Amino acid sequence: MNPAQGERAALVFLVLAAPLPWLVDSGTLVHFGIMVFQAATLGQAWNILGGMGGQFSFGHAAFFGAGAYTTAILQLRFGVDAWSGFFAAILAGAVVALVIGLASFRFGLRGSYFALVTLAFAEVLRILANTLEITGAGVGLLLPLAPGLERLQFADRRGYYLLALFLCAASLLVARAVAGSRLGARLVAVRENEEAASALGVDPFAVKMRAILLSGAMAASVGAFYVQYFLYLDPHIAFGPQVSVEALLGPIVGGPGTVAGPLAGAFLLQLLGEASRALAGGATGANLVVYGIVLILIVRFLPGGLAGLARARAERAGAGS
Amino acid sequence: MTLLGVEHLCVRFGGLTALEDVCLAVDEGEIVAVIGPNGAGKTTLFAAISGFSRPTAGRIRFAGRDVTGLPPHRLCAMGLVRTFQVTRPFADLTVRENIAVGVHLRHRSPRRARALAEGVAERVRLADRLDQPAAALTVAGRKRLELARALATEPRLLLLDEVLAGLNPAEVAEMEPVVRDIRASGVTILLVEHVLQAVMRLSDRVLVLVGGRLAATGTPAEIVRDPAVIEAYLGEGADRLVTAESPRARGA
Amino acid sequence: MVDPSIVAASALHGLATGAVYALVALGLSLVYGVLHIVNFAHGSLLMLALYGVYFLHERLGLDPYLALPVLLPVAGLAGYALHRWVIAPAGGARDENVLLVTLGLALVLENLALVAFRSDTRTIETAYSFSMVALGPALLPLPKLVALLGSLVATLVLWAIVQKTDLGRAIRAVAREREAARLVGIDTRHAFALAFAIGTASSAVAACLLLPSYYVSPQVGHGFVLIAFTIVVLGGMGSFWGAFWGGLLIGVVESLGGLFLGESLGQIGIFAIFIAVLLFRPTGLLGRPL
Ligand SMILES: Nc1ncnc2c1ncn2[C@@H]1O[C@H](COP(=O)(O)OP(=O)(O)OP(=O)(O)O)[C@@H](O)[C@H]1O
Ligand SMILES: [Mg+2]
C-alpha cells in the first residue's frame, strides 16, 4: 500500500464505520469506536507537528486540556452554549500553541529539548488547573447532563459516535490537505534537515509555527469532545502525561508522518488495550504496559510504523512482479 | 554590474580567526572560483555570505542591497543560494520531492513543483533517478541533487561548495558542461573547488584564500603562474601538474 | 512575618531533599553527558528501587540503609542490561528514538508496578523514623539528615569514580570522542552501558536514603524525573557539579517556595525555572560538561 492508497483506505474505513452502530446493537462497540476516533484525532494532531514536521511534542496534553477546560468553564461559569464553547476551545488550543511555539521555536529548540519544554508546559498547566478556583482546582468540573443537539449532548451514545467519527474524518482531511500542500512539503523538509531547508528558502520558524497552531487547535477539539462525552474534567484527565503519551503513540505505531497512520495506530492500540485489560482481569495499567512494549518494539523493529510495513510489502511485491 | 560585494569580512570562532578582512566582488554573469588549502576558510566564507553565520565584522552586499545578517531563507528568496560541501539530502524523500522543496520557493502549487522538478533534474542529469529515495544516491548523485535543489530556487547567484569533490574524473567531466549551462542560463556562480583542472577550465577569475586571508586574485592563467600562490598553496610541482592536466595538453 | 527559625528549618529541609534530588539528577546527567540521551525511564527505575527497599524492609525486616549493598549491584546490573539490550539497539540514529524507547520503558515499568502493587502510597516505619536532630535553631528529622549526608558522600564517591578510576576515564573518553575512544580500543557499547548502570545505581542509593522519610507509589518517579530534568538542564546537561548545585538549589527553592507560596505554586516555580533555562540558556547556568 502506498501513502495515497492508505489515505483512501482510511476514508473508506470511516465511511463504512459510520452506520455500524445502527447495524450492530452493541454499547461496547459504540464506546470502542468513540475511543478509537478520539485517539485517532488526537494522534493526527500530534502527527502534523511530530510526524510530518519532526518536532516531537511530549506535551500535547497542554492543547487537549486547554480545549477541554475552555469549553467546560465557558459553559459552567459563563453560560456560553456548547457549540460556541467548542469553537472557543479550538481557538484556545491555537493560543496555547502560539505561546509554546513562539517560546520554543523562536529560541530554536529542537529534539529532546523541545520534547522536554512541551512536557513542562503541560505540567505547568496541570498544576495551575489544580490550584485555580475557576478550574475547580483538584475537584474538577462536572457538567450538568442535558441532552440535546443544541447543547452538543446526546442521550443516545451513537450521537457521540458520529460526532467523534466526524472529527476524525475532518482531521484526516486536514492532514491530507497539509500533506499535499507546499506547507506539507516544507514541513517534511524541515524535519529531514532544517538547515538545508532554510538554504532553499524555507523559513523553518514560520513552518513550525503553522504546524503547531494547526496541531494545537486540532488537539483542543478532542479535549472539547471529551468534555461533552464524559461531562467531567479534572487536572489529571486534562493535562496529565497519559494524554501526551496517547497523542504520540498512535502515529508512532501507525506510521509517523503518514495521513492514515494515526487512525491505524489508534485502532490497533485500542484493540490491544481492550484485549490486555480483559486478560489482566480489568487491572488498571495493563493496557499501558502493552502500549509501552509495543512502543519499544515499533521503534526497534519498525520505525516507519504500520505504514512503513505496508509500504515495504508493496515495494517487495512491486519488485517481484 | 556587481552582483555580490563582500567588504572587510571577518569571522571569528572564539579565539580562532577563520576569515580576516576579506574583500571581493562578483559581477553578474561571472564564474568565480575560490581556492585554498583545507581549513582556509572557504566554507566559512560561503556560510557568512549565505546568512548561515553572522560575520564578526564587515558587510555583505547583494544586488545593491546590504544583506548582512539576513537569514538564509530571506537571502534565498532574493536569489542567493548555496549548496553544502557535506551534502544534506532530505534522505526520506525522493529526488523529485527533494527538488520540489526548492521549486516551491517561487511556485505554490505542489503539482507544478513536481513537474518543474523534472526539468531541473534534467539540467543536472538526474532525470533517471527522479523517483528514487535520495538516501539511495551515490556521492556523485548527492552532489547533483545539492545542485539541483539550489537551482530549483531560480537563483541569481549560486554558491557551489565543492560540488566536484569526491567525483571521479569521468564524473567531473560530466559535471563541467552542467555548470557552464547554468551560467549560460544567466546565473552567476561563485564556487569553491579543490579539483584544480576543473577550476582552470570553468572559471573567469580565481580567488586564493590562505589562512583566512585573500592571498591573490586573477585569471586562472595568472594564478597558476603566481609564484606566491604556488608557494603558499599549490606546492612544488603543482604548476607542472596543472599544465599537464590542462585540456590542450591532453588534446581535448 | 514568618519566623526566621521556620525559614531556616525549611531551608534545611530543602537542602536535605535537594541533596537527594542532586543524586538522582547526577545519574540522569551522567547518562546525558556520556550517551547524549534523555532517559525518561530514570524516574521509573528510582521507583522500582524504592519498592525494592520497601519490600526488603517489609518482608525481610531489612533496614533501608542496609538494603544498599543488596540493591546496588542489582540496580547496576539491571541498568547495564537495559541499556545494552533494550535502549541501545532501539535507539538508532535519531535522539527522538531514544526518547521514545525510554518513554516506552517508563510506561512498562510504571504500569507493571501499578498492576502488581496497586496505586497505594506506601511508607515504612523504623525505630528512628521520628527522631529529630537539632541543628542550630532548626529541628531536622534524623532520616533527612542521613539523606543529606549520605547523598553528599554518594556524590563524592560518584565523582571519584568518574574522575579517578580507569572506568571513569574510559567513560569520559567515550563521552568526548566516540570514534577516537573506539580507535584506542575502548569497547564503546560496554562503556555506554556501564555509564547507564552507574546512573541507575545512583538512583538505588537515592532510594535507600529516601524511603525512611518518603513514600513509594507507582507514580512516584514522575515528580522526580521532571525535577531531575530541571536540575540537569539548570546545571548544564552533562555537568557533574552543575547537577549537584542545581539539585541543592532546586531543593531549597521548592521548600521555601512551598513555605511562602503554597505547595502547588512552589512547584510551578520549578517549572518556570526549567522552561526559562531551556529557552534562554539551553547550555545551562552552572556547569561545564564532564
Ligand atoms: N563552527 C565553527 N566553530 C569553530 N571553528 C570553525 C567552525 N567552522 C569552521 N571552523 C574553523 O574555521 C576554519 C576554516 O574552516 P572552513 O570549513 O571554512 O575551511 P575550508 O576552507 O572550507 O576547508 P575545506 O577545504 O577542508 O573544506 C577551520 O580552522 C575550521 O576548523
Ligand atoms: Mg569547506
Cα–Cα distance, C24 to C246 (Å, whole number) = 11
Domains detected in chain A: 3-320 (1.10.3470)
A286 touches chain C (CB under 8 A): yes
Q: Which of B62-71, B75-84, C181-190 has the lowest mean pLDDT?
A: C181-190
Q: A203-221 burial string, b = 16+ CB within 10 Å, else e?
A: bbbebbbbbbbbbbbbbbb
Q: What is the largest CA-CA distance in chain C?
A: 63
* pLDDT > 70? residue C290: no
B82 touches chain A (CB under 8 A): yes
C261 touches chain A (CB under 8 A): no
* pLDDT > 80? residue B244: no
A284 touches chain C (CB under 8 A): yes
| pLDDT tens digit sequence for A210-235 | 999 999 999 999 999 999 999 999 99
Model pLDDT, residue C271 = 79
Beta bridge partners, B32, equal B190, B205
* pLDDT > 60? residue C1: no
Residue C119 CB coordination number (10 Å):
11
Per-residue pLDDT of chain A (321 residues; tens, 9 = 90+): 677 788 888 998 998 988 888 998 888 899 999 999 999 999 999 999 999 999 999 999 999 999 999 999 999 999 899 999 999 999 999 999 999 999 889 887 778 888 888 998 999 899 899 888 888 888 889 888 888 888 888 888 899 999 999 999 999 999 999 999 999 999 999 999 999 999 999 999 999 999 999 999 999 999 999 999 999 999 999 999 999 999 999 999 999 999 999 999 999 999 999 898 888 877 788 889 999 999 999 998 888 888 888 877 777 776 654
Distances (CA, A) of C29 to A56, C196, C280: 21, 10, 19
Give the CATH superfamily of B2-88+154-250: P-loop containing nucleotide triphosphate hydrolases (3.40.50.300)
Model pLDDT, residue B247 = 41
CB spacing of C271 vs A124 below 8 angstroms:
yes
Model pLDDT, residue B147 = 94
| pLDDT tens digit sequence for C143-178 | 888 888 988 998 899 889 988 888 888 888 887 777
| pLDDT tens digit sequence for B126-145 | 999 999 999 999 988 999 99
Cell numbers given for A217: 487547535
Give B41 Cα–ligand 1 centroid separation in angstroms. Answer: 5
Interval B44-57 mean pLDDT: 94
- The binding-site residues of ligand 1, defined as CB within 6 angstroms of any ligand atom, are B 13, 16, 18, 36, 38-44, 85
Cα–Cα distance, A63 to A40 (Å, whole number) = 15
CB spacing of A200 vs B71 below 8 angstroms:
no
* Beta carbons of C57 and C190 less than 8 angstroms apart: no
Supply the pTM of this predicted model. Answer: 0.91
Beta bridge partners, B160, equal B191
Helices (H), chain B: 42-49, 72-78, 95-103, 110-123, 139-152, 169-184, 196-202, 220-225, 227-229, 238-245, 247-250
* Beta carbons of B77 and A201 less than 8 angstroms apart: yes
Q: At what angle do helices C188-210 and C142-164 cross, to 10 degrees?
A: 170
| pLDDT tens digit sequence for A145-193 | 888 888 888 888 899 999 999 999 999 999 999 999 999 999 999 999 9
Domain boundaries, chain B: 2-88+154-250
The dihedrals phi and psi of C48, each to the nearest 5 degrees, come to -60, -45
Per DSSP, the residues of C268-282 read HHHHHHHHHHHHH-T
* Contacts with C, A 93-152, CB within 8 Å: 103-104, 107, 109, 111-113, 115-117, 119-121, 123-124, 127-128, 130-131
Which residues in chain A have their CB less than 8 angstroms from residue C41's CB? Answer: none
| pLDDT tens digit sequence for B79-126 | 999 999 999 999 989 999 999 999 999 999 999 999 999 999 999 889
CA dihedral C75, C151, C273, C31 (to 10 degrees): -30
Residue B224: closest CA among B35, B30, B42:
B35
CB spacing of B81 vs A188 below 8 angstroms:
no
Cα–Cα distance, B121 to B36 (Å, whole number) = 30
* pLDDT > 70? residue C283: no
Model pLDDT, residue B246 = 41
pLDDT band at residue C277 under the 50/70/90 scheme: confident
The CATH class that applies to domain C4-280 reads mainly alpha
* Beta carbons of C192 and C175 less than 8 angstroms apart: no
Mean pLDDT of chain A: 91
Model pLDDT, residue B241 = 45
Percent of chain C whose pLDDT exceeds 90: 27
Q: Name which residue leads in pLDDT, B191 or C90.
A: B191
Model pLDDT, residue A318 = 64
Which subunits count as partners of chain C given 3+ CB pairs below 8 Å? A
Residue B49: closest CA among B160, B143, B200:
B160
Q: Name which residue leads in pLDDT, B98 or C258.
A: B98
Cα–Cα distance, C213 to C144 (Å, whole number) = 6
Beta-sheet strand order (sheet of B2-13): B16-27, B2-13, B57-62, B65-66
Per DSSP, B233 falls in state I
- Ligand 1 atom index nearest CA of B46: 18
Residue C82 CB coordination number (10 Å):
22
* Beta carbons of C191 and C171 less than 8 angstroms apart: yes
CB spacing of C104 vs A295 below 8 angstroms:
yes
A295 touches chain C (CB under 8 A): yes
User: Going along chain A, which residue ranges are E strands?
Assistant: 141-142, 232-233
Q: Name which residue leads in pLDDT, B100 or C222.
A: B100
